[in-house]
Amino acid sequence: METTLNTQFEQLQKIIESIHVAKSKGQATEEGRKAATLMFVALKHANREVKQKIKDGRDKLHMEKSKVDLSRLQLQNLLYEVSHLKKEIVRCQKFKSRDSQLELLSETEYASQLPSMPSAKADLSSHKKHVHRLECELRLRKDLDKQYSSLLSSKQELLQENLSQTQRYTSFSPALRTLLGATKPLHDALQLSLDLEWKLSAVFKYLPKPLYVSFINLQSLQRTRDDLSFTAEVVGYESEAQMQELLNEKRQAALRREGPTKTEEPMDLDTLLTPHALHIKLTIGNSGSNQLILLIRYFEGIKCATVWAQVNSSNSQGETNFIHNLLRHLYANDMGNEIPIPGIQYELGSSGLTTEECLRYLEDKEFGKPFCWLQAMCLIPTANSSMLERNLNKNTREIIARIERRWNSWLRLSQQIRGLTYKDIDLYTLRENIYPVGLSCSLVQWTAITHEEFHAQNSDVLKISSDDRGITYNSYRAVFVRSSAKMECFIRIPSNYPLEMPLWILTVHWNGCHTSQNNSAIKMMEYWTNSLQPKQLGPNERLLYAQLFRTIYSFDIFLETEGSMQSSIEYNKEKPYISAFSKRSRARPYKYIKKGSVYAFKQ
Tens digits of per-residue pLDDT, 568-600?
Answer: 667 777 776 666 555 555 556 666 666 666 666
Cβ-based neighbours of 263, under 8 Å, separated by 6 or more: none
Most confident option among 197-201, 462-466, 497-501: 497-501
Mean pLDDT of 299-308: 90
Q: Which residues pair with 494 in a beta bridge?
A: 473
Of 527, 507, 590, which is closest to residue 556 (Cα–Cα)? 590
DSSP letter at 577? B
Q: What pLDDT is attached to residue 69?
A: 94
Q: Is the pLDDT of residue 386 over 70?
A: no
Measured at the alpha carbon of residue 575, what is the angle toward residues 572 and 576, in degrees to the nearest 5?
120
Residue 421 near residue 446 (C-beta atoms within 8 A): yes
Using CA atoms, how far apart are residues 112 and 32, in angstroms rounded to an integer? 123
Using CA atoms, how far apart are residues 488 and 513, in angstroms rounded to an integer? 10
Mean pLDDT of 413-419: 87
Q: Which of 247-251, 554-558, 573-577, 586-590 has the lowest mean pLDDT?
A: 586-590
Using CA atoms, how far apart are residues 406 and 218, in angstroms rounded to an integer? 19
Give the confidence band of 205 by pLDDT, cuts at 50, 70, 90: confident
Q: What pLDDT is attached to residue 88?
A: 93
Q: Is the pLDDT of residue 157 over 90?
A: yes
**pTM for the predicted model, two decimal places:** 0.62
Q: Is the pLDDT of residue 350 over 50?
A: yes
Most confident option among 34-43, 130-139, 149-158, 413-422: 149-158
Long-range contact set of residues 207-210: C-beta below 8 Å, sequence gap at least 24? 207/234, 207/241, 207/276, 207/278, 207/280, 208/276, 208/278, 208/298, 208/300, 210/298, 210/305, 210/378, 210/379, 210/380
Q: Higher pLDDT residue, 466 or 588?
A: 588
Using CA atoms, how far apart are residues 170 and 338, in angstroms rounded to an integer? 45
Percentage of the chain modeled with pLDDT above 70: 81
Q: Is the pLDDT of residue 406 over 70?
A: yes
Using CA atoms, how far apart are residues 236 and 366, in angstroms rounded to an integer? 17
Position 177: which residue type? R
Mean pLDDT of 219-223: 85
pLDDT in tens, 266-281: 567 877 888 898 999 9
Q: Higher pLDDT residue, 117 or 37?
A: 37
Give the confidence band of 344 by pLDDT, cuts at 50, 70, 90: confident
pLDDT in tens, 39-73: 888 888 888 888 898 999 999 999 999 999 999 99
Q: What pLDDT is attached to residue 120?
A: 44
Q: What pLDDT is attached to residue 430?
A: 63
Q: What pLDDT is attached to residue 119?
A: 45
Q: What pLDDT is attached to residue 166?
A: 86
